[in-house]
Amino acid sequence: MAEHSDQNSTHEDVDMDVDAIVAQGQELIDAILRRRLPVSEIKSMIEVGAPVWFQDDDGNSPLHAAAYVESEELVRLLIDEGAIWNADVALSLNNEKCYTIVRDAGIRSELLLTLLQKRAPAANSPLNIILKATDSTPAGSTDAFLSTRLEYTKDEHGQEICLVKVADQDEVGVMMGWERGISQCQVQETVRRLCADHENPNDGLKVLNVGFGLGISLSPKPSLHVIIEPHPDVLAHMREQGWHEKPGVKILEGKWQDFVESEELLAVGGFDVIYTDTFSEDYADLLAGPESRFSFFNGLGATNATFYDVYTHVSELHLADVGIDVEWSDVDVFEGDTDRWGKTREYFAMRTYRLPVGRMRTL
Ligand SMILES: C[S@@+](CC[C@H](N)C(=O)[O-])C[C@H]1O[C@@H](n2cnc3c(N)ncnc32)[C@H](O)[C@@H]1O
């Protein structure tokens, strides 16, 4: 009996705590919106327990409120005090300085997450559940992707596409033919920029392509073209098209991870140009010298402008870490209002593609 009443009082205590926290959170939002309190008093409210992570029934948080009143100082204070960066908040800001503070918090948290994942606990540790990516479909897992059949087909505009089924009703484009055409952009524009002002373009460049897809990103006249491709259906498609017999083309069947330290790659003596859809730090070891270039399909987070900005910066920081400086060019990939995605899942919704060309930093 006594135990029962103890339990009741514990539940009541918790309810009261929750009510108090909700009230403090709401007060914090209101105080920020009323703009009457100095920042020092907002800080005191947080110090005595007002939750910076609170969201009201409409999804508004103190960070939303600070963004709304365009207070750089408050946005910075809330982020410093642990407010969770939020892509929608950042997007809704017209104020560049506030936007940058929120976006930079996103960059820091992504870098921290990468670091935590590198030091991930053993596979059977319960902590792993928190840290591990949860997308085990072919869209999020290399192993699942490599064991799923691909379909090479044409879309309703007659463009070649390569699709992978990720669920019964959901197909994702591995590569879409429209990427070949759209204002010479993304992939083809990358190749043009990688090769165009190279010191020795006429000697024939040594090019490494990671991932064949539709073969759009192959540069015009390399002296050696190494293509790494692991998917059996892509390899079969390449064989049908005669890629295995082309002069100067060497196809390495497998994942890039299988070849990074391999004799087949290292014997080339370094590449002039490397293009990959798969982000990796290890490519730094494969570049020939200061004139060598590196690029990758910069499509991470490209369905939301803030995420796209965050991941663009994160990749720049990662590459800087391994000695590659990146120059970015903006490529307008807007193609009128034609529906280029059909029934497949949209993976690039930006008007502007941020095209990366990396070079080894000279010390
Ligand atoms: C987006 S497509 C590449 C498109 C290509 N840039 C083009 O011009 O069509 C991705 C390709 O990378 C391949 N791929 C996936 N994981 C890979 C890995 N770990 N190593 C090498 N290639 C990989 C896929 O099988 C697929 O053919």
Instruction: Give 275-314 pLDDT, tens digit per residue.
Output: 876 533 345 556 666 777 888 888 888 888 888 998 899 8
Q: Is it the case that residue 118 has pLDDT exceeding 60?
A: no
Nearest-CA residue for ligand 1 atom 11 is 211
Nearest-CA residue for ligand 1 atom 23 is 211
Nearest-CA residue for ligand 1 atom 14 is 211
Q: Which atom of ligand 1 is nearest to the CA of 256?
A: 20
Domain 174-360 matching CATH 3.40.50.150: the answer reads yes
Q: Is it the case that residue 16 has pLDDT exceeding 70?
A: no
Q: pLDDT (tens digit, 9 = 90+) per residue, 146-197?
A: 888 888 888 777 778 888 887 777 777 777 765 554 334 456 677 777 777 7
- Residues 6 or more apart in contact with residue 8 via CB below 8 angstroms: none
Joined together, the tokens standing for residue 93 give 């800001």
Residue bearing tokens 């759209």: 182
Cα(174) to ligand 1 centroid in Å equals 8
Ligand 1 proximal residues by C-beta, below 6 Å? 142, 174-175, 187, 210-217, 228-231, 234, 255-257, 277-278
Q: Under a CB-based contact definition with an 8 Å cutoff, are residues 59 and 85 in contact?
A: no
Cα(199) to ligand 1 centroid in Å equals 28
Every domain of the chain with CATH number 1.25.40.20 lies at 2-118
Nearest-CA residue for ligand 1 atom 22 is 211
Query: Which among 274, 173, 172, 167 is positioned nearest to 214, based on CA atoms?
Result: 173
Q: In a mutational test of the pocket of ligand 1, which residue from 150, 172, 212, 296 has the highest number of ligand atoms less than 8 Å from its CB?
A: 212
Cα(213) to ligand 1 centroid in Å equals 5
Q: pLDDT (tens digit, 9 = 90+) per residue, 90-107?
A: 666 677 888 888 888 888
Secondary structure (3-state) at 290: coil
* CA 325 to each of CA 85, 195, 226, 293, 361: distance values in angstroms, whole numbers, following the listed order: 27, 17, 24, 10, 6
Q: Give Cα 85 distance to the centre of its chain.
A: 16
Report the percentage of the chain scoring pLDDT > 70: 73
Burial of 222 (0-12, 13-18, 19+ CB in 10 A): buried
Q: Under a CB-based contact definition with an 8 Å cutoff, are residues 325 and 358 in contact?
A: yes
Per-residue model confidence (pLDDT) at position 115: 62
Q: How far apart are the first and last CA of the chain?
A: 76
* CA 282 to each of CA 96, 288, 356, 361: distance values in angstroms, whole numbers, following the listed order: 35, 13, 17, 15
Q: Is it the case that residue 241 has pLDDT exceeding 70?
A: yes
Cα(354) to ligand 1 centroid in Å equals 20
User: Residue 298: how many CB atoms within 10 A of its CB?
Assistant: 24
The model carries a pTM of 0.65
Q: Under a CB-based contact definition with an 8 Å cutoff, are residues 313 and 106 in contact?
A: no
Which runs of E-coded beta strand occur in 249-323?
249-253, 273-276, 293-296
Burial of 14 (0-12, 13-18, 19+ CB in 10 A): exposed
> Any idea which of 38-52, 120-134, 140-154, 310-324 has the lowest mean pLDDT?
120-134
The amino acid sitting at 216 is I
Per-residue model confidence (pLDDT) at position 270: 82
Q: What is the mean pLDDT of the chain?
A: 78
Nearest-CA residue for ligand 1 atom 20 is 255
* CA 237 to each of CA 141, 181, 297: distance values in angstroms, whole numbers, following the listed order: 22, 21, 22
Cα(128) to ligand 1 centroid in Å equals 28
Which superfamily, per CATH, for 2-118?
Ankyrin repeat-containing domain (1.25.40.20)
> Any idea which of 52-61, 129-138, 148-157, 218-227 has the lowest mean pLDDT?
129-138
Per-residue model confidence (pLDDT) at position 184: 40
> Any idea which of 33-42, 125-134, 250-259 has the lowest mean pLDDT?
125-134
> Any idea which of 66-70, 80-84, 359-363 has the lowest mean pLDDT?
359-363
Cα(169) to ligand 1 centroid in Å equals 23
Per-residue model confidence (pLDDT) at position 348: 80
Q: Give Cα 340 distance to the centre of its chain.
A: 21
Q: In a mutational test of the pocket of ligand 1, which residue from 146, 162, 229, 273 has the highest number of ligand atoms less than 8 Å from its CB?
A: 229
Per-residue model confidence (pLDDT) at position 303: 83
Q: Is it the case that residue 237 has pLDDT exceeding 90?
A: yes
Per-residue model confidence (pLDDT) at position 175: 73
Joined together, the tokens standing for residue 179 give 């990427």
The ipTM assigned to this model is 0.98
Q: pLDDT (tens digit, 9 = 90+) per residue, 245-286?
A: 998 899 999 998 899 788 988 888 888 888 876 533 345 556
* 334 vs 224 pLDDT, higher one: 224
What's the rounded mean pLDDT across residues 136-142? 75
CA gap 220, 275 in Å, rounded: 13
Every domain of the chain with CATH number 3.40.50.150 lies at 174-360
Q: Which atom of ligand 1 is nearest to the CA of 276?
A: 6
Largest CA distance in the chain: 90
Q: In a mutational test of the pocket of ligand 1, which residue from 142, 175, 239, 298 has the highest number of ligand atoms less than 8 Å from its CB?
A: 175
User: Residue 37: how many CB atoms within 10 A of its CB?
Assistant: 15
Q: Give Cα 152 distance to the centre of its chain.
A: 25
Per-residue model confidence (pLDDT) at position 220: 63
Q: Is it the case that residue 119 has pLDDT exceeding 70?
A: no
Query: Which among 59, 52, 51 is positioned nearest to 75, based on CA atoms?
Result: 52
pLDDT confidence band for 109 (50 / 70 / 90): confident
Q: In a mutational test of the pocket of ligand 1, which residue from 151, 185, 186, 277 has the highest number of ligand atoms less than 8 Å from its CB?
A: 277
